[in-house]
Structure formats: structure tokens, C-alpha cells
Amino acid sequence: MPIYNRFQLELRKITSYNVRDIGVTEQGSIHEVFPIQGSVRGYGRRSYRVDADVANGIYNCECCKINRDGILCCHAMKVMTHLGMVTKYPEHYILPRWCLPPPDIVAPRDERQEKPVGQKLSRKDMRLLRYGNLCSDFAKLAVGLAASEKTNEIAERHMRAMEKEMADLKKANADALKKRKSAKHPVNTNPANDSQESVPMEEDVYIVENRKARNPPMSATKGRPGSKRKKGGLQLQKPKQGLCGVCKQPGHDARTCEVRLANPEKYSLLGIFH
């Protein structure tokens, strides 16, 4: 709930209380705030003691709502209206967290990061270093450029010029790379000059994009992956050895059984497996 609505609800509860003066101290006066009828939502039927120091604008209530929620309670505000000596809400009860931020734009205080002396940085680290410095410089510059429409127009004009210059630079680098590739692999358009020796052309220095070879894409393993689950007692037992269908002995089957091979007419494979 917004702070305005919370303060509005607390202010409405003033009409549910009445004030009784208890005494006077060196710092101020003591008051008892009690409900007029029934209970008050959030506070019940009980009464609260409020110590008021009007000279310093300090109001201490037993409910301690200002310490718990950061909002002055309805009991203290009821004492303010009862005394009739408060024309302005005390500023020290308006906490900073309930206030709007200042309208002025504050420039970042980040300092430029210089390249470490005697240390070689990678291309990625150098790019991050340049990016951070540019962000800091442009943020500080934007504070002054946002002051008026004229300064904003200056910023937009230079931004468009920078974008055009960057596009021209990228196009020049791409053309230089293409020209260098064609120089390494020239195309002979004159068949009559095939027997002549090609004269090496003088190459200029171009800015070439550094492309690193990468590993080929990995293919997924075919089939079901192996299971690492621990086996139980039944799975650890060795499977029972099968018996021969002819002599009922282990260690071989009907195809290699000596009894069947000795009597092929009596024991045929067709009759055994059917």
C-alpha cells in the first residue's frame, strides 16, 4: 500500500479517540489517549500514554508505531490536535525512505580504469575495459547534455555522425578483407597468359578480423546411456546355465550335442525346436 494511503488511514483513526491530560514534566506534558467507543482497528480497546514535547516537536507513544512502521501513530497526532499548537507536521518524522529522490541527476563517480603496466590483457578483457570507460565517460557527458533541448540536439547530431562513421569503418574493413582474399587467390581471366609467370602484387596492410578455429559440434551418444544404479541381490546372482534339449546336460545346446550328432536320424533339429 502506498505511504499516502497508510497515513490517510492512520489520520482517520484520530476521530476514534479522546485525550485526557495526566500531568506536566520538565520536558513537556503527559496525556492519555483512550477510545471513545468500542475498539479501534489495529489497536483494540486499550488506552495509550503519549509524552509530548511541543518545543522540540517530539511525541513518544507507547504503541511505538513510528519505530516499527516509520509512520507517526494516530495517538500522537490526536495529542497534536488536542494541544492546538502544531501548525506543521514535524520534519524529523518524515523518514527518507518515504521521500521522493531529488530531481537533480547525479553523475557517476566511477573513475577510468587504466591498463595495468607490465600486464598483457586478452582481447576480451581489453574490450571490457574500453566498454567500462566509455560507459562512464558518456554517462558523465549525458548529465550536461540532458539540461535543455539545444544540448539534446547536439548529442543527437553527434550520435548520428558517430553511427555513420562506424558504418563506413565496418564497410571499409569488409572491403579490405575481401580484397585481401582475392589477392591471395587471383582469378586469371586471360587464358593466353597461363604460361607466363604471375608477378607477385604488393599488398597493403589491412585490418583483418581475428577468427579463431573452434571445436566441431559434439553429437549426442546414440542408444540408451549406461546406468550407474547400484544393483540389488537378485541382480548380482549369476543367471542359471541352460540345459541341452537332447541330453539335458549343461555346457552346450542341441546343435552341438554329441548324442544328437551320434544319432542324427533319431534326433533331428526340426523335431527338437518344434
Domain co-membership, 58 together with 94: yes
**Whether residue 22 sits in one domain with residue 80:** yes
Q: Is 192 a domain residue? A: no
Query: In sequence order, which ranges of 62-121 are alpha helices (DSSP H)?
Result: 65-69, 74-83
At 30, is the secondary structure helix, strand, or coil?
A: strand
* Residue range 150-167: mean pLDDT, rounded: 92
Residues 86 and 14 in one domain: yes
What is the pLDDT, as a whole number, of residue 162?
A: 93
Question: CA torsion sign, 36 to 40 to 46 to 52?
Answer: negative
Mean pLDDT of 16-42: 90
pLDDT of residue 248: 86
pLDDT digits (tens, 9 = 90+) for 55-108: 888 999 999 888 888 889 999 999 999 988 888 888 888 888 887 776 666 666
Rounded to two decimals, what is the model's pTM? 0.39
Residue 177 lies in a domain: no
Position 186 in a domain: no
Share of the chain above pLDDT 70, in %: 84
Edge to edge, what strands does the sheet with 58-61 contain?
Answer: 17-24, 29-35, 48-53, 58-61
141 and 68 belong to one structural domain: no
Q: Do 26 and 91 lie in a common domain?
A: yes
Helix, strand and coil percent figures for the chain, each rounded to 5: 40, 10, 50
**Pairing between β-strand 29-35 and β-strand 17-24 as defined by DSSP bridges:** antiparallel
Q: Do the Cβ atoms of 173 and 205 come closer than 8 Å? A: no
User: How do residues 161-201 score in pLDDT, each as one tens digit?
Assistant: 999 999 999 999 999 988 888 887 765 555 555 544 444 44
Q: Domain limits at 21?
A: 3-98
Question: pLDDT tens across 213-260, in order?
Answer: 788 888 777 777 777 777 777 777 777 788 888 888 888 888 888 888
Same domain? 139 vs 91: no
Establish if 46 belongs to a structural domain: yes
| pLDDT band, very low/low/confident/very high, at 264 (cuts 50, 70, 90) | confident
Identify whether 193 is part of a domain. no
Domain count, the chain: 2
pLDDT at residue 210, rounded to an integer:
54
Would 138 be classed as within a structural domain?
A: yes
Same-domain pairing of 91 and 142:
no
Residue 69 and residue 27 share a domain: yes
Does 219 map to a domain? Answer: no
Confidence grade of residue 206 (pLDDT, cut at 50, 70, 90)? very low
* 98-114 pLDDT tens trace: 877 766 666 667 777 78
Q: Is-contact 21 4, C-beta < 8 A?
A: no
- Is 91 domain-assigned? yes
pLDDT tens profile 129-141:
888 888 888 888 8
d(CA 32, CA 10): 18
- Same-domain pairing of 25 and 74: yes
Which residue in 134, 142, 136, 128 sits closest to 166, CA to CA? 134
AA identity, residue 149: E
Q: Are residues 88 and 136 in the same domain?
A: no
> How far is the C-alpha of 93 from the C-alpha of 3, rounded, in Å?
13
**Same domain assignment for residues 148 and 90:** no
| Bridge partner residues of 250 (DSSP) | 243
